[in-house]
Amino acid sequence: MNRCSTTWILLGISCFWSGVAPAAEPAKIGSFRQLFLDDHLVAKMTGLRRVMHRPHKRGAVIRSPKLDQTIQTRSVPQWDPVAKLYKLWVIGIDQQLWESRDGLHWVPGPPSNMKIMLAVYDRNEPDLSRRYKAPLLNRGFAVSPDGAKWTRVDVDKVPSSDEGNFSFDPDHGLFIHTIKRRGPFGRSVAVATSRDFKTWNDHGLIFHADERDQELGAENIIARLADPTLRRPFHIDKKVWRVDVYNMGTFFYEGIYIGMPAMFHSTGPVPNYPNTDGFHLVQLVTSRDLKNWKRLGDRQPFIGPSRLKSGAYDLVQILPPSAPVEHGDELWFYYTGLKYRASFIYVGRYPNGKHVTKPGLEPDRGAICLAVLRRDGFVSLDAGEKSGQLVTRAMVLPGGKMHVNADAVDGELRVEVLNAEDKVVAVSENVSGDSVRKEIRWKRGGLAQLKGQAVTLRFTLRNARFYSYWFK
C-alpha cells in the first residue's frame, strides 16, 4: 500500500469483532459515501485495523504583508462561481479578504467595510445580495453580495466568547456555528444551527475536555519539554497544567459530522497578564447528531506541530479551519500556524499595562498553512497478508453503480452482496490498484435487479486499505 502522503495511527486492535446489534430497519444511505469513522453501518468486522490518517502538510500559502501583523484565519475558502475565485477571510492584518483562482496563489481582495472573521457562500440563496453570510461573534450577523460589502441583518446574536467557527451544509441548508464558552474544564464548545439564517437554535455546550484529556495533556507537555526538536514554551509551571478546547471547526461530510477541536495545553502563567503560555494539538472527532461526539485516533493529533528548523510556521499554535475544501480527489485544510504563543512581556499590571515584544524572536510569526488529505481519507480499514472481513448492517440498496475508495496496490478487495435470507446474490471481480473512485464490476450477479431491496455487503480485504464505498 502507498503510505507516502499520510501518517497513520491505530484506532483499535488488529483483529476484533464489532458486536453491535443490527438495526431494526434497513438503513437508507442514499448517495452518501460511507466512511468508517464509526460503527453506524458495521455489523461484524474481523482481521481489520481501523486507522486514522493525518493530512500531509504543504506549508504556508498566505503570509502577512507586514511583519508587525500576525495573520490568522478561522474561515474556509469559498468558491464564487460568478467571479470564478476562491475567497478567504483572515484576521490580524489590514487586508481581510484574500482571493485565489487555484487555492494556492493568493492576493488581497477588495477592502471590506466590516470586520469579518467567518463567512460562507450560500448557493441556495435566491437573493443575490445575501449570497455571503457571516456571524459577527457577539455582534449579530451580516450578509453580502460579494464577500466585501456587508450589511448587518436584524437577527439576535448567539452569545459567544472570542472564538468561533462557521460552516454550511448546502445539501440540507444547515448553517453550523460553533462558539467558545466556559465548561467544566475551562474553554469548551457550544453550537447553534439555523436553516434560514434568521432563527438560530442554540444547543448549548456540546464538547469539552475531560479527565482523560488532563492525563494525556500532562504526558504531552512532558514529552514536548523533553524533545529538543520542538519549540519549548516560554513559561512552565506545573500548577497550571491543564487542557481545554480553544475552538472547534465542525462540518457535515458525507452523512456525518466531523469536528477538529484545538486542544490547548496550558504550560505556565504569563506574568502580569490573565492568560497562560502553551500549545495546541488538533484532534479529530465525529458525531451523528452534533451532540454526542466520539474521539478518533485514541486522541492523538490529527494536525500536530512541525519541528524546529523545518521552516514551518505551525510550531506552537495550530488553529483549525471551520471545514476543509473539496479539491478534486483531495481535501484541503487551510489552518493557522503560529511560531509562538506568549511572544510578549506585559509591562505593568493588566489591564493598565502594555505589551512589549520579547527580544530576539523571529518577526515573521504566523501564516495560513495548507494540509492535504486524500478524499474520504480520515479513517481506513486495513488488512495485512492475512485477509480481513467487514460485514455491513442491512441497508436499502439505493441503485446506481457501486464505487469504492481503496488502496490495494499490493493486494485486493472483493465485494459480495447478500439478500435478506443471507444468500449471496452478487460477487464482484477483485479490485486492485489505488483509486479514490473505483467502479465495482461484477463477475456473478449484479445490482440492477436489487434496487430498493434490503441487502448486506461483505467486503474481504488482503494487503489493502479501504476508505469508503457508495452507490451512484
Is 305:231 a contact under the CB 8 Å cutoff? yes
Confidence of residue 21 (pLDDT cuts 50, 70, 90): very low
Q: Count of residues for the chain?
A: 472
Is 138:115 a contact under the CB 8 Å cutoff? no
Is 409:43 a contact under the CB 8 Å cutoff? no
Residues of the chain with pLDDT > 90: what percent?
Answer: 93
- Residue (of 453, 388, 379) closest to 423 by Cα position: 453
Could you please report the per-residue DSSP string of 411-466?
EEEEEEEE-TTS-EEEEEPPEEEEEEEEEP-EEEE-SGGGTTSEEEEEEEEESEEE
Residues of the chain with pLDDT > 70: what percent?
Answer: 95
DSSP 8-class letter at 270? P
Look at residue 369 and tell me whether its pLDDT is greater than 60. Answer: yes
Mean pLDDT of the chain: 94
Q: Tell me the per-residue pLDDT of 294-329, one tens digit each, with 9 for 90 and over.
A: 999 999 999 999 999 999 999 999 999 999 999 999
Show the CA angle centred on residue 219, arms to residues 218 and 224, nearest 5°: 100
CA pair distance 468, 52, nearest whole angstrom = 13
CA pair distance 168, 176, nearest whole angstrom = 6
Other C-beta atoms lying within 10 Å of the C-beta of residue 264: 24
pLDDT reported for residue 44: 97
CA pair distance 225, 222, nearest whole angstrom = 5
Sorted by where each starts, the structural domains of the chain and their CATH numbers stand as: 7-47+386-471 (2.60.120), 64-362 (2.115.10)
Calculated CA dihedral for residues 42, 48, 52, 55, nearest 10 degrees = -110
pLDDT reported for residue 161: 86
CA pair distance 17, 43, nearest whole angstrom = 9
Set of cell numbers at residue 189? 464548545
Residue type for position 192:
A
pLDDT reported for residue 24: 61
Set of cell numbers at residue 271? 506574568
Set of cell numbers at residue 210? 475531560
Q: Tell me the per-residue pLDDT of 170-195, one tens digit each, with 9 for 90 and over.
A: 888 999 999 999 999 999 999 999 99
Mean pLDDT along residues 73-96: 97
pTM of the prediction? 0.94
Look at residue 151 and tell me whether its pLDDT is greater than 50. Answer: yes
Mean pLDDT along residues 9-21: 34
- Residue (of 38, 53, 13, 3) closest to 407 by Cα position: 3
Q: Tell me the per-residue pLDDT of 104-146, one tens digit each, with 9 for 90 and over.
A: 999 999 999 999 999 999 999 999 999 999 999 989 999 999 9
CA pair distance 89, 384, nearest whole angstrom = 44
Look at residue 259 and tell me whether its pLDDT is greater than 70. Answer: yes
Which uninterrupted H or E stretch holds 260? strand 256-269
* 3 state DSSP class of 338: strand
* 3 state DSSP class of 221: helix
Confidence of residue 361 (pLDDT cuts 50, 70, 90): very high
Residue type for position 157:
K
Look at residue 8 and tell me whether its pLDDT is greater than 50. Answer: no
Instruction: Give the residue carrying C-alpha cell 485477509.
Output: 387
* 3 state DSSP class of 219: helix
Give the distance, in angstroms, between the CA of residue 252 and the centroid of all CA atoms in the same chain. 10
> 15-29, 188-202, 285-299, 375-389: which has the minimum mean pLDDT?
15-29
Set of cell numbers at residue 437? 473512485
Is 291:206 a contact under the CB 8 Å cutoff? yes
